Every structure is written in structure tokens, then in C-alpha cells.
Amino acid sequence: MANGSKRKAALKTLGKVAGVAGSFALATAGAPGAAHAAKKAVEVVETVDNTKKIIAGGAAVIGAGLVGMKAMGGNAQDFLEAEPYWDQSTVPVNVYKNKAPFTGKVVSTKRIVGPKATGETCHIIIDHNGDFPYWEGQSWGVIPPGTREKDGKPHAVRLYSIASSRYGDDMTGKTGSLCVRRATYWCPELKADDPAKKGICSNFLCDTNPGDEITMTGPAGKVMLMPEEDPNTDYIMVATGTGIAPYRGFIRRLFNEDTPAARAYKGEAWLFLGVANSDALLYDDEFQEAKSRFPDNLRIDYALSREQTNAKGGKMYIQDKVEEYADEVFTKLENGAHIYFCGLKGMMPGIQDMLKGVAEKKGIDYDEWLKKLKKAKQWHVEVY
């Protein structure tokens, strides 16, 4: 086929696909992933003719569809963005402090694990009326009510990673959520949980009801933020248990919402989560739904210690699961990927030993390699 005919055919195909995608975006105004669906249409046509003008033309058609979507009342998540969206100079930090905290109200508290999970984990949505902004990867401080028995002073602040994007679960920008495991102590003598030794704050949060007030501080931290300037950045997210919280915010922002970050993102987000068993998996339904729409951009691997065995025949812990992909993880980091760790600090030695082994096989000085990653801000750790 002559060049001119080929270009005309490609443009015609692009027009059809872009039109369908634009119509779909309009028809599903505000629905999670509508903008992504439109964007993917252009990527499909790119294989017909890799011509910048064709792609630009398609993008314009899609853009017009998205503008129409907003005009029809779509809930595009763009009203809490920096300018440009990846600029981190305006990240809110410690807006509310211990002496002048914020009072939020519980919208809902829901158990999110199955009956065979080890312990109880709750998802708690808190209404802040848009007065307590935060970014994905940050934490809220919670001051439980009452005083300490030993000295009668108010309880200290407990930090919890925020489990939602900045737009909240309802995408209004007026709520945020926490993922909290109820801390209990099993007394071997009583053969029951000892209420005198239960976690003060986690039990308070898991026992809340709609309308209850929560005294809060923050938002805290910048170490777990996503560097969004390069949309091709790969994110490797390693979590144990409730350490999943910040990654839920990441995944919602990149794959479930109509954000500038989502429209631009072309990298791979790779989630590793370690829990005891299938009943203890957190937000799996959300993650699998997002993965079904973006199989090339979202990857998920679970380590279920009571259901799976590692290569040596022992229990499968998070470090064992990451080790299965050691070379690939190492290569991604060499190519600029960012790796995040959130959860129990006990996972760190095993993962670092594994990476050190890979480095040695490649003749690379591990300590220097790690120092380089940290200097480039590719290494993000928030463990407890």
C-alpha cells in the first residue's frame, strides 16, 4: 500500500476508535478508568502507523471527549493537583499538631478480612470536609481518647499510613481512610485475649461507629511519595499486612481515578504483599479489578505464609516471594525503578540479603549500589 493510502487508512481507523473511546468516556462520565479507556484507544492505533501526527490527532479527539465528559458533570479528579501535577513543593506537612489537632468524623468502619484471618483488620473512612489535605504515601496521626494509667497524661499520637488517594474513597476530596489491625495480646494463662494489654489506639479505631469523632494530627512524611514527573517510572511496592495502606492510595491514583498522573502513566506498578492466608488479603478485589483493566501496567504477587511454601520448602514470607524475582527486581532498580517497603521491619534483612546476593553474583559492590539508590531517592522505607 502506498504511503498516502496507508496514512489515510490509519487516520480513518484512528477516527473510528477515537470516536468510540470518546463516546465511552462521555457515557461513563466520572466512572473510574474512563479516561484510561480513551487513552488506550490511541495506543492501540499507534501500532497501525507510528506517525506523530496521527497520534496527536487521536489525542486531540480523545481530549475533546474528556472535555465533554467534564462539561457533562463528570467527576474528574484534578481539583487537588499541584501545578504541574508532579511538583512536590506544595506537599502539606504537619498542618495540624498535637497542641492544635484536627477533629474528623467517622463515616464508616468495616472489617475487611475473612473469618480465617489472623486477627481483625478494619477499613475506616473519615470525613475531614476538605480541611485536612494529604498526598498518597503520607500518614495521619491519631490521638486516642482518655489518659495513660501511669501518669494521667493524654495518650501519645499513633501514626497510620493513609489508605486512600488524596481524593478519598468517595472521590470528593473530603474524606480519607485508614487500614488498621486490632492489636490484641493472647495470654497463655487465661487462654484468651487480655483486655488490659490490648492496643489502645487500634482498638479505639476498630470500635468506632459512624459519627464518632477522631482527634488527628499531620499529615506526616514525604518518604513514601511517588515521583510522578517521569510517567515511565516503575514502582515496586513491598508490604506486610496493613503496610498495604499507602499502595492502595498509589493504585487508586494510577488506575482507578481520572487524574493527570493516571492519564500520563505508562510504567509498571508491581505489588508484593505478605499475609498469613487468603482470608487475610487486603483490598484484593480492588487490585484484581484494576489489574484486569491494566494487565500490562499493574502486577501483583502475594506471599501467603500459611498456604504457600518457598523454594526451600519452608513458609512463604514476603522476602521469599521477592527473591523469586530477584534478578528482575535488581534490573528494574538499575534502570531507575523506585522500591517501597511498608509494614513489619522484620522483612528488611531478608530482602536486603537477597539483593546483596544478586549484586555479588554480578560483581557489584552492594553497599555502594544501595548508597547510589538512596542518593537517587529510589529507596523508600517506612517500617515498624
- List the pLDDT tens digit at each of the 384 positions of the chain: 444 444 444 444 444 444 444 444 433 334 444 444 444 444 444 444 444 333 333 433 333 333 333 333 345 778 999 999 999 999 999 999 999 999 999 999 999 999 999 899 999 999 999 999 999 999 999 999 999 888 888 999 999 999 999 999 999 999 999 999 998 665 566 666 656 566 899 999 999 999 999 999 999 999 999 999 999 999 999 999 999 999 999 999 999 999 999 999 999 999 999 999 999 999 999 999 999 999 999 999 999 999 999 999 999 999 999 999 999 999 999 999 999 999 989 899 989 998 999 899 999 999 999 999 999 999 999 998
Residues whose CB is less than 8 angstroms from the CB of residue 84 and which lie 6 or more positions away in sequence, other chains included: 260
CATH architecture entry for 78-220: Beta Barrel (2.40)
| CA separation, residue 57 to residues 9, 12, 16, 46, 177 (Å) | 14, 11, 12, 11, 40
Q: Does the annotation list 89 as a binding residue?
A: no
CATH of the domain spanning 235-383: 3.40.50.80
Can 247 be counted among the known catalytic residues?
Answer: no
Report DSSP state, residue 365.
-
Q: Does the annotation list 191 as a binding residue?
A: no
What pLDDT is stored for residue 149 in this prediction?
83
Can 265 be counted among the known catalytic residues?
Answer: no
Question: What pTM was computed for the model?
Answer: 0.79
What pLDDT is stored for residue 196 in this prediction?
59
What pLDDT is stored for residue 52 in this prediction?
38
**Residue among 122, 134, 136, 161 flagged as catalytic:** 161
Counting every residue written for the chain, the total comes to: 384
Report DSSP state, residue 182.
P
Q: Does the annotation list 305 as a binding residue?
A: yes
**CA–CA separation, 220 and 271 (whole Å):** 23
**What does 137-176 look like in DSSP terms, one character per residue?**
T-EEEEE-SSB-TTT-PBPPPEEEEB-S-TTTTTTSSSEE
**Residue among 136, 228, 323, 382 flagged as catalytic:** 382
142: cell is 491519631
Q: Does the annotation list 40 as a binding residue?
A: no
CB atoms within 10 A of CB 141: 22
What pLDDT is stored for residue 333 in this prediction?
96
**CA–CA separation, 157 and 160 (whole Å):** 10
**Residue among 122, 179, 206, 342 flagged as catalytic:** 342
Q: Does the annotation list 161 as a binding residue?
A: yes
Can 23 be counted among the known catalytic residues?
Answer: no
- Mapping DSSP to helix (H, G, I), strand (E, B) and coil, where does residue 380 land? strand
- Mapping DSSP to helix (H, G, I), strand (E, B) and coil, where does residue 13 land? helix
**Residue among 96, 134, 160, 247 flagged as catalytic:** 160
Q: Does the annotation list 181 as a binding residue?
A: yes
What is the C-alpha radius of gyration for the chain, rounded to an integer number of angstroms? 23
**CA–CA separation, 47 and 206 (whole Å):** 51
CATH code 2.40.30.10 region(s) in the chain: 78-220
What pLDDT is stored for residue 189 in this prediction?
67
**Residue among 23, 328, 360, 384 flagged as catalytic:** 384
| CA separation, residue 338 to residues 224, 330, 333 (Å) | 10, 11, 7
Residues whose CB is less than 8 angstroms from the CB of residue 201 and which lie 6 or more positions away in sequence, other chains included: 142, 144, 155, 158
Asked if 122 and 205 count as a contact pair (C-beta separation under 8 A), the reply is yes
CATH code 3.40.50.80 region(s) in the chain: 235-383
- Mapping DSSP to helix (H, G, I), strand (E, B) and coil, where does residue 320 land? helix
What pLDDT is stored for residue 312 in this prediction?
92
Q: Please count the helices (runs of H) and the strands (runs of E) in the chain.
A: 11, 13
**CA–CA separation, 142 and 159 (whole Å):** 6
Can 160 be counted among the known catalytic residues?
Answer: yes
Q: Does the annotation list 315 as a binding residue?
A: yes
**What does 218-267 look like in DSSP terms, one character per residue?**
EEE-STT----SSTT--EEEEEEGGGGHHHHHHHIIIIIS--HHHHH--S
Can 382 be counted among the known catalytic residues?
Answer: yes
